[in-house]
């Protein structure tokens, strides 16, 4: 059969799936069975033996389902489509983005190991690495990885993971994934497989239709499905994608730590989220460009970061790295802008903007999260990145007067009008 393009693949999935025998349904029904009937003790034993076995031929043979926390058909179909979109051998889903991210560190690190991470990260990832992993004696050094050469000196014999987001949340800094992958590859030259350093990239901000880190040399991709992939703001979820060698470990981590994506949450992501992803992204990023241009011309705005603007500091890198599977530039749907003024004054101005939005705007909603069909606005310094104190925020490059916008599907004229009103009050 001819191989379909990703946009078609995300609508139809595998043309024929052994996961499922409701052969007359066009859309898979939403299952809700925690446990599965086994036809004999031998069949049950075979199911347990095959679960997470490194040699398992997932997707090739009819799976033996045992219990929801191990494996389940809707999640399995979602995982096939996610792997196809990321260009990965395999993908394993989790209850949330954070469940997926913590699973990666549990998979890669043991007591005494360390992690090198970029200084700017999603707030909860930062607190996972700085508050919880040290209890397991896994430490993290946060550093500025904008120059990959700097990574060379940061990798120690105990380093097991290099962890980055690109573009970063919320400042939309673009990191050179290929350059970082080169450094990691060199560091691994004389290492035994179990001691290798892995480059892990959080791909939540672009989605796989906006960037595929594995193609740039990353070992593992993590993402929150809650954002672009779910798209409508109705379901939490997370995923890890990468080479087959990681599949068994990820399944076992998920089984024992229990952060399983509920099949009822996997269903809308499979049925509504992925099939509409390409058109949502295209329409939303068109609006994002309009909004970014409006903000750039506004006298109260000191700076705007949007990869589609000519003024974007990492323009060439973004154009090479942030593309859809056909190679078109995908500047994305997130816009970051900073209010004018000294830190305290800019912080107040940003708070006034979002407070006005909360009270009076129609098309803008003051809320965290991103990648939804509704436009969401937030003030990172007092919200998503509040886990970092003022000093840590400065170290992470988060401006007191910075505002993050996740542009949705509303008419761009309404978005601009609402922003104009909000900025007038700043």
Ligand X SMILES: *Cc1c(COP(=O)(O)O)cnc(C)c1O
Residues in the interface with ligand X (CB under 6 A) total: 17
Choosing from 169, 171, 263, 284, the residue that interacts with ligand X (CB under 6 A) is: 169
The rounded distance, in Å, linking the Cα atoms of 111 and 139 is 9
115's enclosing H/E stretch is strand 114-118
List the interface residues with ligand X, window 83-102 (CB under 6 A): 96-98
> Which residue is listed with tokens 């007067």?
401
Residues 235-294 that bind ligand X (CB under 6 A): 236, 238
Which one of 25-33, 120-128, 145-153, 353-361 is the stretch in contact with ligand X (CB under 6 A)?
120-128
Question: Near ligand X by CB under 6 A, which window of 21-29, 58-66, 122-130, 138-146?
Answer: 122-130
**Cβ closest to ligand X, residue 301 vs residue 334:** 334
Q: Identify the H or E element spanning 3.
A: none
Cis peptide before 167 (omega within 30 of 0): yes
The site string for ligand X over 123-142 (x = CB under 6 A, - otherwise) reads -xx-----------------
For ligand X, the closer of residues 149 and 386 by Cβ is 386
Distance between CA atoms of residues 31 and 20, nearest Å: 11
Q: Which residues between 179 and 238 bind ligand X (CB under 6 A)?
A: 202, 204-205, 224, 226-227, 236, 238
Backbone angles phi, psi at 243, to 5 degrees: -75, 155
Question: Using CB under 6 A, which residues numbered 356 to 375 contact ligand X?
Answer: 370
Q: Which is nearer to ligand X, 118 or 216 (CB)?
A: 118
Instruction: Report DSSP state, residue 28.
Output: P
Q: Are strands 238-242 and 220-224 parallel, antiparallel or unpaired?
A: antiparallel
Q: Which of residues 393-422 bind ligand X (CB under 6 A)?
A: none
Q: Most distant CA pair in the chain: distance in Å?
A: 73
Q: For the CB of residue 284, give the shortest distance to ligand X in the complex, in Å.
A: 15
Closer by beta carbon to ligand X, 172 or else 301: 172
Q: Which of 68, 113, 114, 165 binds ligand X (CB under 6 A)?
A: 165
Q: Does residue 362 contact residue 414 with C-beta atoms inside 8 Å? A: yes
Cβ closest to ligand X, residue 292 vs residue 376: 376
Backbone angles phi, psi at 191, to 5 degrees: -100, 145
The helix/strand/coil state of 117 is strand
Shortest Å, Cβ 95 to ligand X: 8
C-beta of 9 vs 198, nearer to ligand X: 198
**Angle of CA points 196, 254, 281, to nearest 5°:** 85
Tokens of 12: 């139809």
CB of 122 to ligand X, least distance (A): 4
Indicate the Cα dihedral angle 374, 209, 255, 102, nearest 10°: -70
Which residues are near ligand X by CB under 6 A? Answer: 96-98, 122, 124-125, 165, 169, 202, 204-205, 224, 226-227, 236, 238, 370
């Amino acid at each position: 059969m001819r191989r379909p393009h990703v946009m078609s693949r995300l609508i139809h999935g595998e043309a024929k799936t052994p996961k499922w025998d409701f052969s007359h349904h066009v859309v898979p029904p939403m299952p809700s069975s925690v446990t599965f009937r086994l036809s004999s003790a031998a069949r049950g034993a075979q199911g347990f033996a095959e679960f997470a076995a490194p040699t398992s031929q997932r997707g090739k043979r009819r799976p033996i389902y045992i219990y929801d926390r191990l494996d389940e058909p809707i999640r399995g179909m979602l995982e096939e489509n996610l792997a196809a979109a990321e260009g990965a051998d395999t993908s394993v889903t989790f209850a949330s983005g954070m469940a997926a991210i913590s699973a990666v560190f549990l998979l890669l690190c043991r007591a005494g190991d360390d992690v090198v991470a970029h200084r700017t990260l999603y707030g909860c990832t930062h607190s996972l690495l700085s508050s919880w992993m040290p209890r397991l004696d896994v430490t993290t050094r946060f550093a500025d990885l904008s120059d990959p050469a700097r990574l060379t000196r940061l990798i120690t014999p105990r380093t097991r993971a290099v962890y980055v987001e690109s573009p970063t949340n919320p400042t939309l800094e673009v990191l050179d994934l290929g350059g970082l992958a080169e450094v990691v590859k060199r560091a691994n030259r004389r290492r035994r497989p179990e001691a290798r350093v892995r480059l892990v990239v959080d791909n939540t901000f672009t989605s796989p239709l906006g960037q595929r880190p594995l193609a740039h040399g990353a070992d593992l991709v993590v993402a929150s499905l809650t954002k672009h992939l779910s798209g409508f703001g109705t379901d939490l979820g997370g995923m890890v994608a990468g080479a087959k060698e990681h599949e068994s470990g990820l399944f076992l981590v998920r089984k024992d730590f229990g952060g399983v994506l509920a099949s009822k949450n996997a269903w809308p992501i499979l049925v509504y989220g992925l099939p509409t992803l390409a058109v949502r992204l295209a329409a939303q990023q068109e609006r994002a460009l309009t909004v970014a241009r409006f903000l750039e011309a506004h006298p109260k705005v000191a700076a705007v970061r949007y990869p589609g603007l000519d003024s974007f500091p990492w323009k060439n890198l973004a154009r090479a790295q942030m593309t859809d599977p056909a190679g078109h530039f995908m500047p994305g749907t997130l816009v970051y802008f900073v209010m004018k003024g000294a830190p305290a004054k800019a912080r107040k101005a940003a708070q006034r903007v979002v407070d006005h939005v909360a009270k009076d705007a129609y098309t803008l909603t003051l809320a965290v999260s991103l990648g939804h069909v509704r436009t969401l606005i937030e003030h990172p310094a007092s919200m998503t990145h509040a886990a970092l104190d003022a000093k840590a925020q400065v170290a992470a490059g988060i401006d007191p007067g910075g505002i993050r916008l996740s542009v949705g599907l509303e008419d761009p004229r309404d978005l601009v009008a609402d922003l104009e009103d909000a900025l007038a009050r700043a």
